């Protein structure tokens, strides 16, 4: 299977402290927008309804570590990618981009920015967020200090450590014969459906979370849970863990406020699906391919 977007690049070595700052790729954020140089806009077809996208986007490459001036709110060393240093920095929310550059949301840069840089931008976004939110101790309120040997901020008074955290979330694609269950959350774009997902609660296993989320959100019961894959998801700091499972019993009953609509879909007649940036699409595509192949060959393993 191809690496999912946001997976750590093979030639990336994470590191916390840098002995000798040198020329580097800079991941500069203003809120959740990344600073990039953009290529000319291109329309993938003559159809004017298709949105134009930049032909490419590039990160700033800088030798001078003071290039952002006094406006820089924070700066973190990320490590080395293919021999080149990588730094993350944050500018205030109203900061103007330097000449020739612009602020872009990460999702819009998928497949436009180099895949490895895109993945590290997701890492940078999460680490900047963690650094911003842990300047003061959550227990005693004293100002925390960064360690040089590991990625942690420690309180000098009460010694509480704040490591960057990820929030595990499970995703379930439920099969019933030749159909899959897809649902709409009220904040989805019009017409789009996806697999069910929810955050793991303290005191529960992934399998228990999956069964609970499915029952709460659509009122059906599942069995035969199989692990599919996982993806780092930096909005803001999740780890998505995806599973395929089979329907056992129950009719669809969408949870008020959470699920706008949920339906069984024939794998050959699917609605609009999420972008290929997310594991949801990878999961749906894999199950659809497998199910369509078994329909074609006439196997009845359902």
The nearest distance, CB 161 to Zn ion, in angstroms, is 10
The nearest distance, CB 73 to Zn ion, in angstroms, is 23
Q: Rounded distance, CA 3 to CA 9, Å?
A: 9
Restricting to residues 99-138, name those near Zn ion by CB under 5 A. Answer: 137
CB 88 within 8 A of CB 29: yes
* 165 vs 226, beta carbon nearer Zn ion: 165
Compute the radius of gyration of the chain from its Cα atoms: 22
Q: Does 293 bind Zn ion (CB under 5 A)?
A: no
Restricting to residues 77-96, name those near Zn ion by CB under 5 A. Answer: none
The nearest distance, CB 237 to Zn ion, in angstroms, is 22
- Candidate segments 122-130, 160-168, 228-236, 283-291, binder of Zn ion by CB under 5 A: 160-168
* 24 vs 155, beta carbon nearer Zn ion: 155
The residue within the footprint of Zn ion, chosen from 158, 167, 223, 248 (CB under 5 A), is 158
Tell me the number of residues near Zn ion by CB under 5 A: 8
The nearest distance, CB 142 to Zn ion, in angstroms, is 5
Q: Does 155 bind Zn ion (CB under 5 A)?
A: yes
Q: Rounded distance, CA 113 to CA 102, Å?
A: 13
Residues with Cβ within 8 Å of 202's Cβ and at least 6 positions away in sequence, in order, are: none
The residue within the footprint of Zn ion, chosen from 17, 71, 140, 223 (CB under 5 A), is 140
Q: How far is CA 220 from CA 209, 252, 281, in A?
A: 14, 6, 22
Interface residues toward Zn ion, by CB under 5 A: 137, 139-140, 142, 155, 157-158, 160
């Amino acid at each position: 299977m191809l690496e999912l977007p946001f997976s750590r690049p093979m030639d990336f070595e994470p590191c916390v402290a840098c002995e000798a700052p040198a020329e580097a790729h800079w991941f500069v954020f203003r809120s959740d927008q990344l600073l990039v140089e953009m290529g000319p806009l291109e329309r993938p077809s003559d159809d004017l309804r298709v949105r134009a996208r930049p032909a490419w986007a590039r990160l700033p490459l800088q030798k001078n570590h003071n290039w952002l001036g006094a406006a820089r709110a924070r700066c973190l060393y990320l490590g080395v990618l293919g021999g080149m240093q990588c730094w993350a920095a944050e500018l205030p929310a109203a900061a103007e981009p330097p000449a020739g550059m612009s602020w872009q949301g990460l999702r819009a840069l998928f497949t436009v920015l180099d895949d490895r840089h895109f993945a590290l931008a997701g890492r940078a976004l999460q680490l900047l967020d963690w650094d911003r939110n842990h300047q003061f101790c959550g227990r005693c309120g004293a100002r925390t200090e960064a360690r040089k040997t590991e990625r942690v901020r420690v309180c000098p008074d009460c010694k509480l450590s704040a490591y960057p955290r990820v929030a595990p979330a499970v995703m379930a694609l439920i099969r019933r014969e030749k159909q899959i269950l897809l649902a709409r959350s009220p904040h989805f774009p019009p017409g789009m459906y996806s697999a069910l997902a929810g955050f793991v609660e303290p005191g529960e296993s992934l399998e228990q979370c999956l069964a609970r989320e499915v029952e709460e959100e659509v009122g059906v019961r599942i069995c035969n849970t199989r692990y599919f894959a996982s993806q780092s998801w930096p909005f803001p700091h999740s780890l998505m863990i995806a599973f395929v499972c089979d329907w056992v019993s129950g009719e669809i009953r969408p949870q008020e406020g959470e699920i706008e609509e949920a339906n069984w879909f024939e794998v050959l007649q699917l609605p609009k699906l999420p972008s290929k940036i997310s594991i949801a699409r990878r999961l749906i595509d894999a199950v659809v391919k497998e199910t369509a192949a078994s329909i074609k060959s006439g196997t009845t393993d359902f």
